[in-house]
Amino acid sequence: MKKIIFKKLSNEILVFFLITGLALTLIIWVIQAVNYLDIVTEDGHSFGIYFSYTVLSLPKIFSQSLPFVFFLSVFYVISLYEEKNQLLVYWTHGVTKKQFINKVVQLSLIFLILQLLLSIIIVPYTNNKSRSFIRASTLDFFPNLIKPKKFIDTVKNLTIYINSQNSDGDYRNIILKDDTNSDNIQTIIAQRGKIISVNNKKMLLLNDGKIIQTNSKKKITTFNFEETQFDLSKYSSKTTTFPKIQELETAKLIKCTKSLLNNAREELLFKDLICKKGFIDNLIQELFKRIYLPFYIILMALTSSLLVLKSKNTSNYSIFKTSVFLIGVMFLVIPEILLDFTGNKYSSNLIFILFPIFSYIAIYQYINLKVRFN
């Protein structure tokens, strides 16, 4: 009978977790997807790149919300059980409050494993995968970047000014400045122009203009043209394409951190990572975030389980319930604050590591005292 009632508890927590987690993830995803529209409108990437990029952000959103959703799930289900007197079923079948709490803590290990898989493997992979779409992207949406009477410098090493655009999509009075080669800066002025595709490449067809070239010695060379094609495919967006620490494999971060802590050279080269001494704080913080921060889920389970220590019939039950919820929120916020102070500082790292351990011991001792007193 005990297995049946605990299975029911686990199922209800899991169902509430999935419904709430997916709903919250989708809400946040929609909000972020709107913010990501600048990938198209400002950086010139296609809607296909935008869609792939936004979809691959779902694991990250779900992972970030998982601890709070888990805490909320356990808190809600236990509160509901107390309100409907369903906890009496456990007590009448010989389950002690301490055994009940231990079962909830054991259940949290499943969510801990899920969070570790997400933070260590899945999220870095999807982050890197989404960034790879940006890195491999050409400026497919280039025409939408161009706005009349406005200087556009979204494209790296290229500034464009268009005075007007007619209904056929042709541009009038065009100015281009290409500073790809700092020793030979090129400025193009044209009366007319339009974007065409040549062998699947975006080209700007220019008519009736002149090219002004300025070298490093300030020598200016000018020549006129009736028609010329300006290759746009060689230009890229200013969007950051080099992998961030959050996008790199965990094993690679561990290897880099270990090398730096062992007083290796000032700079080591890894694939997609320049391992510098100056990065050590960021590397340690990221590793703590991926590997150690998920263990706070166990603390979330223990905190929310405190609700079983008081009955709804006691005079201060609502205050106690609110206090438990605020303590749980505190255990969600404090680790994020402590994480910002971790890095190449032994004392800060030690505080971050020991805080959940001492908190767990303190809460468990409180549970022992309450159970013994009752």
> What is the C-alpha to C-alpha distance for residues 75 and 32, in angstroms, rounded to an integer?
28
> What is the C-alpha to C-alpha distance for residues 332 and 69, in angstroms, rounded to an integer?
11
- Give me 251's structure tokens: 């094993």
List CB contacts of 56: < 8 A, sequence separation 6 or more: 126, 127, 129, 130, 133
> What is the C-alpha to C-alpha distance for residues 276 and 279, in angstroms, rounded to an integer?
5
Helix (H, G, I), strand (E, B) or coil at 165: strand
- According to the model, what pLDDT value does residue 14 have? 95
Q: What is the pLDDT along the chain (374 residues), one digit of tens a residue?
A: 678 888 999 999 999 999 999 999 999 999 887 776 665 555 555 666 777 778 888 999 999 999 999 999 999 999 999 999 898 889 888 889 999 999 999 999 999 999 999 999 999 999 888 877 666 555 555 555 666 777 776 667 778 888 887 777 688 888 888 877 777 788 888 888 887 777 767 778 888 888 888 877 778 888 888 888 887 766 655 555 567 788 888 988 888 888 877 765 555 666 666 777 778 888 899 999 999 999 999 999 999 999 999 888 888 899 999 999 999 999 999 999 999 889 878 898 999 999 999 999 999 999 988 887 65
> What is the C-alpha to C-alpha distance for residues 20 and 29, in angstroms, rounded to an integer?
14
Per domain, the residue ranges of the chain are 2-137+243-373, 145-231
- According to the model, what pLDDT value does residue 149 have? 75
Q: How far is CA 280 from CA 261, 269, 335, in A?
A: 8, 14, 20
- According to the model, what pLDDT value does residue 144 have? 57
Q: What is the DSSP letter of 279?
A: G
- According to the model, what pLDDT value does residue 374 have? 59
- According to the model, what pLDDT value does residue 191 have? 87
- According to the model, what pLDDT value does residue 133 have? 67
List CB contacts of 293: < 8 A, sequence separation 6 or more: 119, 335, 339
Structure pTM? 0.77
3-state helix, strand, coil in the chain (%, to 5): 60, 20, 20
CB 57 within 8 A of CB 32: yes
- According to the model, what pLDDT value does residue 272 have? 64
Helix (H, G, I), strand (E, B) or coil at 45: coil
